[in-house]
């Protein structure tokens, strides 16, 4: 790593707050800080101070301030500096040097790049992993195809930025990470090796044939940046570095970026395995008032103090009871406060009653009857009949409520609610919001009022609601339940609650207190893709929008197939289940929650028409006019995707990459060359998929050797 990169990283350390000293609790004689960074156990500096070698750190006092370094007892080449370390969040921060390649602005030939070793990082054999939720993969400059591979050379993630117009990469422009000039994407879980690379595009190659004059050629060359970058960086660092979308496309220097690492105890797969297979001395959660928390990717666990406690759960007795009565801001009490182990009691003072947790919640009560009151009761004895009637009404109402409560409990048990509680019990943030009471949804929808209906069909009705936390949601109320699939449904709900992808509808939770479970999703304002395709008038969605929506759908499915802890198969992709938000961004919905009978008649008809060259008989005429040859390429890809044999179908990652290539060519109007454009003609390969028995259609798109390696990784189809 260059000295400039180290200097920049040290200057940026102020962005990452250090862990409070109170959580460190190092063994006697062990340093608790390195410079301004707190060292919480199980990490440690010096012999016998860390849980094991993986958590061993060093403090380099030759710099000012001192540098916190990950010890390298295994002989590897990386001695990584940490900028912060958090016990509560299970995170650490470090930095990377951005990968850089620079080109001759006239010829397009590459003239320089920084040291590959300086831009790579290996975390293999350590407690650390690159955080999927806190980092983004960025490609800066254009045209640029940046991709990431793991230690085995398998494809992990990629990002493509294009130069659509000269203005889009002008100095000082505020394009943002939209794909023009720069872009960003996510990475999967459990990435422990970072190896970045950039596929070079030689400027002007594919566009020369369409240039009308020298002025046009000059404009196209000017639209390409001199240097291209790629890096993995913390989301907050990106937001701070490129505030207001001000991206410098003309930079040519090396620079460092912040990266967030997730850490965990990696000597067991998860909490259950650790408790079952490890000796008591090796189990990390030492405090009696601690809980074990799975990492969510099946690659280790962490420890937290139980609710009502704080401290260091990795120490015997390290979690201490919180005195809530001394923390009025967090635990308000306007009455008599009594601290208890793990909780507290807040009651109104004598002579008052009500809710003592709010400022005016306690009101005075009368404790004695006056003589006048006694006389009034005697005189008004006839009112006793009225009281009895009211009492009977109250009793009837109470019995009715009790029956309703018992029915809700019955449905909750019937719908395997306790199984879901177990599945989410180790994720406190998920458990708190995952299981939603029926009363909350009734309030959110005004008792499922007809005016709140968003739509319906043969399988159920969708209502719009507003939860108590002001989230606007869509609540799906199905008509029938298949009991034999309820276990699979619960497991899938628990998984989907942790999915966070911009092209997948977010599942907030579910209600199991009705005969058929209710699903609660984020509300998407612009309806379904079906609504936008089937409109009155001569035209509907243009080809450019359709191709982007298709690409985003493929990206979401590729993520569900290969980037989560285990594959999630949708099984019901159709235009009704693809929602669009206000900016027409794709949101895939209803995966795993519904089962449709199979009907391949349309597929067979479509395949037959394509095979005989009569595809125009079934396509929207608007597509033939706008899409040109790209329509046929997408059609061939679609036919390949519905082959019965798995080995004849492309993976969803291949589908995503193919659509990205088609779309990039479309957006650049054939200005940006293809991935394989004249880099190495001997390495050109093409791929084909059989369309029907005895017939195959070969893709006209060519891929370089590097690109083919990216597409060859095996993922669920």
What's the CA gap between 92 and 86, in Å, rounded? 6
For 217, half-sphere exposure in the C-beta direction (CA atoms, 13 angstrom radius) is 14
pLDDT at 9: 36
Assess whether 429 carries a catalytic annotation.
no
What are the two backbone dihedrals, phi and then psi, of residue 440, each rounded to the nearest 5 degrees?
-65, -40
pLDDT at 245: 61
Distance of CA 39 to the CA centre of its chain: 29
- What is the average pLDDT score of the chain? 76
pLDDT at 237 over 80: yes
The whole-number average pLDDT for the span 171-177 is 49
Q: What percentage of the chain carries pLDDT values higher than 90?
A: 20
pLDDT at 702 over 70: no
The whole-number average pLDDT for the span 505-525 is 86
pLDDT band of 682, cuts 50, 70, 90: very low
How distant, in Å, are the alpha carbons of 3, 345, 362, 530 from that of 350? 69, 15, 10, 64
* 3-state SS class at 190: coil
Fold equal for 417-522 and 529-711: no
- 325: Cβ contacts below 8 Å, ≥ 6 apart: 331, 333, 337, 338, 339, 344
Q: Specify whether the CB–CB gap between 319 and 305 falls below 8 A.
A: yes
- 647: Cβ contacts below 8 Å, ≥ 6 apart: none
pLDDT band of 382, cuts 50, 70, 90: low
pTM confidence score: 0.49
Topology of domain 529-711, per CATH?
Transferase(Phosphotransferase); domain 1 (1.10.510)
pLDDT at 419: 67
pLDDT at 578: 92
pLDDT band of 661, cuts 50, 70, 90: confident
In terms of pLDDT, which residue wins out, 460 or 465?
465
Q: What percentage of the chain carries pLDDT values higher than 70?
A: 73
Q: Where are the alpha helices (DSSP H) in 65-138?
A: 116-119
In terms of pLDDT, which residue wins out, 23 or 468?
468
What's the CA gap between 509 and 424, in Å, rounded? 11
pLDDT at 101 over 70: yes
The whole-number average pLDDT for the span 279-300 is 84
pLDDT at 42 over 90: yes
Task: Give the architecture (CATH level 2) of 417-522.
Answer: 2-Layer Sandwich (3.30)
pLDDT at 172 over 80: no
What's the CA gap between 372 and 380, in Å, rounded? 12
From 89, 235, 572, 620, the catalytic residue: 572
pLDDT tens digit sequence for 472-504: 999 988 766 555 556 666 766 776 777 888 999
What's the CA gap between 399 and 402, in Å, rounded? 5
What are the two backbone dihedrals, phi and then psi, of residue 665, each rounded to the nearest 5 degrees?
-65, -40
Where are the domains positioned within the chain? 17-82, 98-122+132-254, 279-321, 417-522, 529-711
Q: Which of 9-18, 89-98, 159-168, 528-537 is the most confident on average?
A: 89-98
pLDDT at 234 over 90: yes
The whole-number average pLDDT for the span 68-83 is 69
CB neighbour burial string for 115-154, b if at least 16 within 10 angstroms, e if fewer: eeebbbbbbeebbbbbbbebbbbbbbbbbbbbbbbbeeee
pLDDT at 643 over 70: yes
Question: Which residue(s) pair with 260 in the sheet?
Answer: 93
pLDDT tens digit sequence for 530-588: 888 888 776 788 888 898 999 999 999 888 887 766 677 777 788 888 999 888 999 99
How distant, in Å, are the alpha carbons of 21, 38, 226 from that of 57? 17, 12, 40
pLDDT at 390: 82
Q: Specify whether the CB–CB gap between 554 and 659 falls below 8 A.
A: yes
The torsion of the CA quartet 249, 254, 259, 265, rounded to 10 degrees, works out to 150
pLDDT band of 426, cuts 50, 70, 90: low
pLDDT tens digit sequence for 392-410: 788 777 777 787 788 878 8
Q: Specify whether the CB–CB gap between 246 and 174 falls below 8 A.
A: yes
* Planar angle of CA 21, 27, 30, nearest 5 degrees: 75
Angular region, 708: left φ>0, alpha ψ -120 to 50, beta rest: alpha
pLDDT at 677: 39
Residue with tokens 């009151």: 373
The whole-number average pLDDT for the span 121-145 is 89
Question: Which residue(s) pair with 85 in the sheet?
Answer: 92
pLDDT at 417: 72
The CB density around residue 686, as the number of other CB atoms within 10 Å, is 12
């Amino acid at each position: 790593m260059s000295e400039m990169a180290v200097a920049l990283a040290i200057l940026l350390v102020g962005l990452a707050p250090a862990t409070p000293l109170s959580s460190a609790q190092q063994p006697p004689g062990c340093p608790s800080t390195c410079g301004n960074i707190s060292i919480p156990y199980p990490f440690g500096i010096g012999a016998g101070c860390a849980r094991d070698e993986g958590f061993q750190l060093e403090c380099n006092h030759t710099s000012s301030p001192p540098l916190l370094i990950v010890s390298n007892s295994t002989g590897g080449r990386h001695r990584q500096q940490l900028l912060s370390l958090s016990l509560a969040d299970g995170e650490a921060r470090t930095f990377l040097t951005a990968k850089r390649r620079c080109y001759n602005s006239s010829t397009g030939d590459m003239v320089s790049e920084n040291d590959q070793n300086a831009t790579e990082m290996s975390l293999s054999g350590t407690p650390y992993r690159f955080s999927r939720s806190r980092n983004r993969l960025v490609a800066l400059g254009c045209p640029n195809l940046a991709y990431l591979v793991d230690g085995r050379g398998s494809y992990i993630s990629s990002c493509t930025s294009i130069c659509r117009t000269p203005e889009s990469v002008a100095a000082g422009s505020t394009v943002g990470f939209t794909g023009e000039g720069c872009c960003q994407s996510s990475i999967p879980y459990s990435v422990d090796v970072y190896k970045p690379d950039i596929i070079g595009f030689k400027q002007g190659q594919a566009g020369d044939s369409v240039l009308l004059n020298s002025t046009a050629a000059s404009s196209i060359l000017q639209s390409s940046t001199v240097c291209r970058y790629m890096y993995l960086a913390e989301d907050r660092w990106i937001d701070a570095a490129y505030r207001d979308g001000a991206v410098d496309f003309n930079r040519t220097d090396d620079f460092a970026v912040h990266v967030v690492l997730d850490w965990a105890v990696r000597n067991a797969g998860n909490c259950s395995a650790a408790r079952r297979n490890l000796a008591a001395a090796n189990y990390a959660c030492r405090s009696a008032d601690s809980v074990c928390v799975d990492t969510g990717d099946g690659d280790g666990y962490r420890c937290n103090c139980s609710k009502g406690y704080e401290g260091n759960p990795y120490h015997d007795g390290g979690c201490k009871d919180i005195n809530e009565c001394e923390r009025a801001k967090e635990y308000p009490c306007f009455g008599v406060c009594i601290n208890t182990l793990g909780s507290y009691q807040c009651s109104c003072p004598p002579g008052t009653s009500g809710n003592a947790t709010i400022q005016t919640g306690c009101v005075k009560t009368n404790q004695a009857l006056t003589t006048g009151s006694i006389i009034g009761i005697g005189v008004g004895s006839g009112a006793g009949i009225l009281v009895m009637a009211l009492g009977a009404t109250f009793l009837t109402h109470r019995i009715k409520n009790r029956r309703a409560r018992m029915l809700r409990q019955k449905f909750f048990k019937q719908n395997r609610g306790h199984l879901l509680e177990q599945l989410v019990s180790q994720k406190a943030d998920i458990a708190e919001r995952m299981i939603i009471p029926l009363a909350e949804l009734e309030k959110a929808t005004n008792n499922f009022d007809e005016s709140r209906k968003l739509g319906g069909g043969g399988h159920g009705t969708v209502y719009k609601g507003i939860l108590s936390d002001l989230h606007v949601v869509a609540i799906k109320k199905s008509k029938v339940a298949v009991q034999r699939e309820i276990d699979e449904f619960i497991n899938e709900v628990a998984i989907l609650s942790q999915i966070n992808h911009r092209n997948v509808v977010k599942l907030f939770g579910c209600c199991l207190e009705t005969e058929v479970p209710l699903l609660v999703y984020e509300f998407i304002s612009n309806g379904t893709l079906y609504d936008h395709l089937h409109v009155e008038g001569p035209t509907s969605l243009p080809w450019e929008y359709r191709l982007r929506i298709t690409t985003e759908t493929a990206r979401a499915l590729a993520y569900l197939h290969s980037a989560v802890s285990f594959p999630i198969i949708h099984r019901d992709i159709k235009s009704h289940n693809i929602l669009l938000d206000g900016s027409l961004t794709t949101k895939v919905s209803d995966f795993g929650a519904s089962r449709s009978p199979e009907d391949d008649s349309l597929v067979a008809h479509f395949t037959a028409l394509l095979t005989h060259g009569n595809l125009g008989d079934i396509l929207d005429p608007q597509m033939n006019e706008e899409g040109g040859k790209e329509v046929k390429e997408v059609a061939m890809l679609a036919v390949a995707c519905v082959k019965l044999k798995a080995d004849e179908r492309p993976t969803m990652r291949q589908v995503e990459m193919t659509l990205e290539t088609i779309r990039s060519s479309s957006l650049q109007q054939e200005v940006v060359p293809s991935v394989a454009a004249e880099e190495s003609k001997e390495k050109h390969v093409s791929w084909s998929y059989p369309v029907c028995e005895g017939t195959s259609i070969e893709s006209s798109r060519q891929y370089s050797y590097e690109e083919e390696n990216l597409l060859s990784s095996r993922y669920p189809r």
